[in-house]
């Protein structure tokens, strides 16, 4: 069965510092991996995805994520956090060729202090 | 361009009532998805349409839930005999095709409260 784990309910970081939001996954075959961000009372906004190819994926708003097959991880990173990055972040996976539905983690609340 | 839209944004109903939630996907997107997000949780898959047909309805929790997409564009999620446990945010998403690599773009959601 497919699953996603986001081990941290909340991540706190000071503005200007680098941030990492962790995600690990479990699928039987090859994964397609996604990161979404959710601001209060709004829907999910797509940030980036890994399908194949280069393990380092760059996305919107300066975010990037690194696919690590051996560790089954897809951590979200940003070199310098902004207060406006404060939001709820969701990692999601779908198994290539198996299903079209996304399996989401429980989310990580990112709080960037000024 | 216009994104995915959902109406109403909020719906309050009484236990046992029938509700309909509407989703307008991005123009030209052939795949449409419904998810449900409970408080403090990630979205959970309900059903997915490719064109007019439901390609996967394995996430519908029981037979009180039903969804249609009669013309391959707008979709309606229907819930009969609502229960308090149905209270959640219902999210709709669409993608250009049903290809696995396609990004799903989400609407703002409908917050359903069952009293």
B99: DSSP letter = -
Host domain of residue A7: 3-107
At B91, list the tokens.
């999210």
Domain count, chain B: 1
**Rounded-to-integer distance, Cα B55 and Cα A17, Å:** 45
In a mutational test of the A interface, the residue from B42, B48, B111, B113 whose CB has the highest number of chain A CBs within 10 Å is B42
How many C-beta atoms lie closer than 10 Å to residue A87's C-beta?
Answer: 19
pLDDT tens digits along B25-73: 999 999 999 999 999 899 999 999 999 999 899 999 999 999 999 999 9
Would residue B106 count as lying in a domain?
Answer: no
- What pLDDT does residue A99 have? 73
**Which residues between 13 and 42 in chain A have a beta carbon less than 8 angstroms from any beta carbon of chain B?**
32, 34, 36, 41-42
- What pLDDT does residue B99 have? 76
How many C-beta atoms lie closer than 10 Å to residue B95's C-beta?
Answer: 22
In a mutational test of the B interface, the residue from A23, A29, A101, A106 whose CB has the highest number of chain B CBs within 10 Å is A101
Would residue A98 count as lying in a domain?
Answer: yes
Mean pLDDT to the nearest integer, B70-78: 96
Q: Any bridge partners for residue B19, and if so which?
A: B79
**Rounded-to-integer distance, Cα B66 and Cα B46, Å:** 10
The three-class DSSP label of residue B86 is: helix
Host domain of residue B67: 5-97
What parts of chain A have a pLDDT lower than 70? Answer: none
Would residue A87 count as lying in a domain?
Answer: yes
Q: Is residue B16 scored above 80 in pLDDT? A: yes
Check if the beta carbon of residue A29 is closer than 8 Å to that of residue A72: no
For chain B, percent of residues with pLDDT exceeding 70: 99
Would residue A114 count as lying in a domain?
Answer: no
Distances (CA, A) of A27 to A37, A55, A98, A105, B99: 22, 17, 10, 13, 18
Would residue A81 count as lying in a domain?
Answer: yes
B11: Cβ contacts below 8 Å, ≥ 6 apart: B19, B21, B110, B111, B112, B113
| CA-wise closest residue to B74 among B35, B26, B115 | B26
Domain count, chain A: 1
Sole residue written with tokens 């940030």: A47
Would residue A65 count as lying in a domain?
Answer: yes
Would residue A112 count as lying in a domain?
Answer: no
The three-class DSSP label of residue A83 is: helix
CATH at residue A39: 2.60.40.10
Sole residue written with tokens 């503005």: A15
- What pLDDT does residue A43 have? 83
Residue of B nearest to A32 (CA): B101
Would residue B108 count as lying in a domain?
Answer: no
Would residue A44 count as lying in a domain?
Answer: yes
CATH at residue B70: 2.60.40.10
- By CB atoms closer than 10 A (0-12, 13-18, 19+), residue A22 is middle
Q: Is A47 left (phi over 0), alpha (psi -120 to 50) or beta?
A: alpha
At B23, list the tokens.
């989703």
- Name the residue with higher pLDDT: B97 or A83: A83
Would residue A113 count as lying in a domain?
Answer: no
- What pLDDT does residue B1 have? 60
């Amino acid at each position: 069965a497919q699953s996603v784990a986001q081990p941290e309910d909340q991540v706190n970081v000071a503005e200007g510092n680098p941030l990492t939001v962790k995600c690990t996954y479990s699928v039987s075959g090859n994964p397609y991996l996604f990161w979404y961000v959710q601001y209060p009372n709004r829907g999910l906004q797509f940030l980036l995805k890994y399908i194949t190819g280069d393990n380092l994926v760059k996305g919107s708003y300066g975010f990037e994520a690194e696919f690590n097959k051996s560790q089954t991880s897809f951590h979200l990173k940003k070199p310098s956090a902004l207060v406006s990055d404060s939001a709820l972040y969701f990692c999601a996976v779908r198994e290539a060729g198996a299903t079209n539905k996304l399996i989401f983690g429980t989310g990580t609340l990112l709080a960037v202090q000024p | 361009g216009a994104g995915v839209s959902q109406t109403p944004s909020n719906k309050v109903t009484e236990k046992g009532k029938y509700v309909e939630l509407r989703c307008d996907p991005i123009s030209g997107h052939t795949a449409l998805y419904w998810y449900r997000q409970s408080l403090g949780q990630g979205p959970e898959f309900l059903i997915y349409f490719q064109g007019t047909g439901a390609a996967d309805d394995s996430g519908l929790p029981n037979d009180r839930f039903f969804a249609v997409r009669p013309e391959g564009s707008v979709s309606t999620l229907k819930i009969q005999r609502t229960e308090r446990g149905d209270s959640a945010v219902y999210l709709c998403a669409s993608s250009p095709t049903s290809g696995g690599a396609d990004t799903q773009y989400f609407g703002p959601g409908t917050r359903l409260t069952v009293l």
